[in-house]
Amino acid sequence: MLKNKHILIGVTGGIAAYKMPLVVREFKKAGADVKVVMSESAKEFVTPLTLSTLSGNEIVVGTFPDQNTNVLSASTWHIKLSQWADVMLIAPATAHTIAKLATGYADNAVTTLALAIRCQLVIVPTMDVDMWHHPATQENVVKLREMGCVIVPPETGELASGLTGEGRLPDVPIIVNTVKGVLRNAHRDLQGKKIVVTAGPTYEPIDPVRFIGNRSSGKMGFAIANAAAQRGSDVILVTGRVSLPTPRHVKRVDIESAAQMHRAVMKYSKNADAIIMAAAVADFTPAKPSHTKIKKERVHSTSFSLELTRTRDILLDLSEKKYHGILIGFALETENGIRNAQQKLGEKKLDFIVLNNPLQNGAGFGSDTNIVTIISKRGKIEKLKKMSKFDIANELLDRVAKNF
Ligand code: CTP
């Protein structure tokens, strides 16, 4: 898996940097080509000479390397390296580095390169326990995950400060195996395919101020869009209102209501090779939304009822219009999951349906993980273990790729 792979390693200034020569050696032993980029402060913990000797390559330290030394001295070194890399690993990633990565700073060689790369970024946060648990660090980590970075969580144990807790650099095999896993998924097997993904909730207007919505965070659909783009496909992400950053190389179309989502999906379905409906589309919408704000004084009663009508089912309309690509739906069920999902699969003539139960621990709205069962039209039922939404996205795309 690692043979002849191009691995870029960014080392930043944490005490765990002294362990990075072992990581470099492990990748080299497995046949990978390794290039290391360091921040100035990383030099306080490990020497460029050690890393250059073990990697067998020159090291970049600083954004403006010495003009006279070597190939990487050109001012576009970051672009050259970004095009060279199959994967980039930042380890150790200090709290400061994580904050900068989450905000898009490019103030040293490592952060500059992290912005320029097109490949997957694996980040290994390593710091003292209180810095790790600080809400700012946690928020930055969530943001990076949502951008599609792979985070290897720090290990618990004795820390350089003498405190005990989370913050240690994980053992070398854990880091190496994560990079292997990322490379396994990094094949561009969806190149040339056009995939439409929907995500998030729909908002059904009651009046200009109020709406009927649902708790969907959009994370599952965004993870699918992100993974599909990383595997080379042209992705159109039709999304309801969510607060998530748009994944790289994805065309995003913002909508609010089920009717708007219907129009957008129909428009982009023409020549789409697959449509993945991860959005939580409202089944009912107010029959006569008011153009002006409904005042409670105008409702001459202690109760108020709202007439709702059915929305048009997007998946059903696609199958009735003889859509020829691969069609995937989601089923959110709290009871009789398999039976209900199979029924939806049949009624909507889907190729696959992804079943999940929001009441299960580690599944459902807002969570970074999910527990799903993928059911195919051929009757295959595959229960996947709890995993990140990004990993589930890749599992689903593996099955889609086999059906093209
Ligand atoms: N869906 C759709 N168009 C709608 C509603 C839902 O395409 N108007 C899609 C969803 O995106 C999802 C699947 O259909 O992929 C879910 O099916 P649905 O029958 O709507 O499930 P629930 O909303 O959970 O409905 P129920 O209350 O019947 O279980």
Pairing of the two strands 33-38 and 6-11: parallel
Res 63 pLDDT > 90:
no
pLDDT grade, residue 68 (50/70/90)?
Answer: very low
pLDDT score for 74: 64
User: H or E element: which one contains 90?
Assistant: strand 87-93
- Compute the distance between CA of residue 218 and CA of residue 278 in angstroms, rounded to an integer: 8
Res 72 pLDDT > 70:
no
Is 27's C-beta closer than 6 angstroms to any atom of ligand 1?
no
Is 329's C-beta closer than 6 angstroms to any atom of ligand 1?
yes
pLDDT score for 240: 98
pLDDT grade, residue 148 (50/70/90)?
Answer: confident
Amino acid found at 344: K
pLDDT score for 184: 80
**Distance in Å, CA 281 to ligand 1 centroid:** 6
Sign of the Cα pseudo-torsion (28, 171, 101, 59, in order): negative
Amino acid found at 273: D
pLDDT score for 203: 98
| Listed residue (154, 150, 74, 139) closest to 114, CA to CA | 150
% of residues, the chain, pLDDT over 90: 77
**Distance in Å, CA 283 to ligand 1 centroid:** 7
Instruction: Tell me the domain boundaries of the chain.
Output: 6-184, 194-291+306-402
Mean pLDDT confidence for 14-18: 96
Amino acid found at 354: V
Find the distance separating the first CA and the last CA of the chain, reported in whole Å. 25
Mutate to test the pocket of ligand 1, among 220, 313, 343 (most ligand atoms within 8 A of CB): 313
- Compute the distance between CA of residue 389 and CA of residue 395 in angstroms, rounded to an integer: 10
What is the DSSP code string of 98-116? HHHHHHT---SHHHHHHHH
Pairing of the two strands 274-277 and 284-286: unpaired
Residue given tokens 């946060």 in the structure block: 125
- Compute the distance between CA of residue 267 and CA of residue 201 in angstroms, rounded to an integer: 19
Phi and psi angles of residue 190, each rounded to the nearest 5 degrees, phi first: -105, 15
**105 token code pair:** 């700073």
Phi and psi angles of residue 58, each rounded to the nearest 5 degrees, phi first: -70, 155
**Distance in Å, CA 338 to ligand 1 centroid:** 15
Is 277's C-beta closer than 6 angstroms to any atom of ligand 1?
yes
With contact defined as beta carbons under 8 Å apart, do 126 and 16 qualify? yes
pLDDT score for 391: 85
What pLDDT digit, counting tens, does each position of 272-287 carry?
Answer: 999 999 999 999 999 9
CB atoms within 10 A of CB 37: 29
Mean pLDDT confidence for 393-399: 94
Q: How many CA atoms lie within 13 A of 55 on its CB side?
A: 24
Q: Which of 57, 108, 185, 214 is catalytic?
A: 214
With contact defined as beta carbons under 8 Å apart, do 128 and 43 qualify? no
Res 301 pLDDT > 90:
no
Instruction: State the closest ligand 1 atom to the C-alpha of 329, by its place in the atom list counted from 1.
Output: 15
Same CATH fold assignment for domains 6-184 and 194-291+306-402: yes
Superfamily name and number for 194-291+306-402: CoaB-like (3.40.50.10300)
pLDDT score for 69: 55
Res 300 pLDDT > 90:
no
**Distance in Å, CA 9 to ligand 1 centroid:** 44
- Compute the distance between CA of residue 19 and CA of residue 35 in angstroms, rounded to an integer: 16
Instruction: State the closest ligand 1 atom to the C-alpha of 280, by its place in the atom list counted from 1.
Output: 11
Concerning whether 214 is annotated as a catalytic residue, the answer is yes
| Listed residue (67, 351, 356, 100) closest to 221, CA to CA | 356
- Is the pLDDT higher at 162 or at 208? 208
Which residues does residue 61 pair with via DSSP β-bridges, in sequence order?
38
Instruction: State the closest ligand 1 atom to the C-alpha of 353, by its place in the atom list counted from 1.
Output: 15
pTM above the 0.85 mark? Answer: no
Flag the least confident range among 6-20, 137-151, 198-212. 137-151
What pLDDT digit, counting tens, does each position of 79-132 carry?
Answer: 888 889 999 999 999 999 999 999 999 999 999 999 999 888 999 999 999 999
Is 238's C-beta closer than 6 angstroms to any atom of ligand 1?
no
Residue given tokens 């946690």 in the structure block: 138
pLDDT grade, residue 266 (50/70/90)?
Answer: very high
pLDDT grade, residue 193 (50/70/90)?
Answer: very high
What is the DSSP code string of 239-274? E-S---PPPTTEEEEE--SHHHHHHHHHHHHTT-SE
**62 token code pair:** 């600083």
What pLDDT digit, counting tens, does each position of 202-227 carry?
Answer: 999 999 999 999 999 999 999 999 99
User: Does the domain spanning 6-184 belong to CATH 3.40.190.10?
Assistant: no
Residue given tokens 């790289």 in the structure block: 248
Whose CA is closest to atom 24 on ligand 1?
A: 332
Is 332's C-beta closer than 6 angstroms to any atom of ligand 1?
yes
- Compute the distance between CA of residue 293 and CA of residue 11 in angstroms, rounded to an integer: 56
Instruction: State the closest ligand 1 atom to the C-alpha of 315, by its place in the atom list counted from 1.
Output: 7
Cα 127 from chain centroid?
A: 24
Amino acid found at 133: H
Res 65 pLDDT > 80:
no
Is 331's C-beta closer than 6 angstroms to any atom of ligand 1?
yes
**Distance in Å, CA 112 to ligand 1 centroid:** 43
pLDDT score for 386: 92
Pairing of the two strands 194-199 and 308-310: unpaired
With contact defined as beta carbons under 8 Å apart, do 165 and 156 qualify? yes
Instruction: State the closest ligand 1 atom to the C-alpha of 348, by its place in the atom list counted from 1.
Output: 14
Looking at the chain, how many residues does it have?
Answer: 404
**Across the chain, what does the average pLDDT equal?**
93
**Distance in Å, CA 135 to ligand 1 centroid:** 36
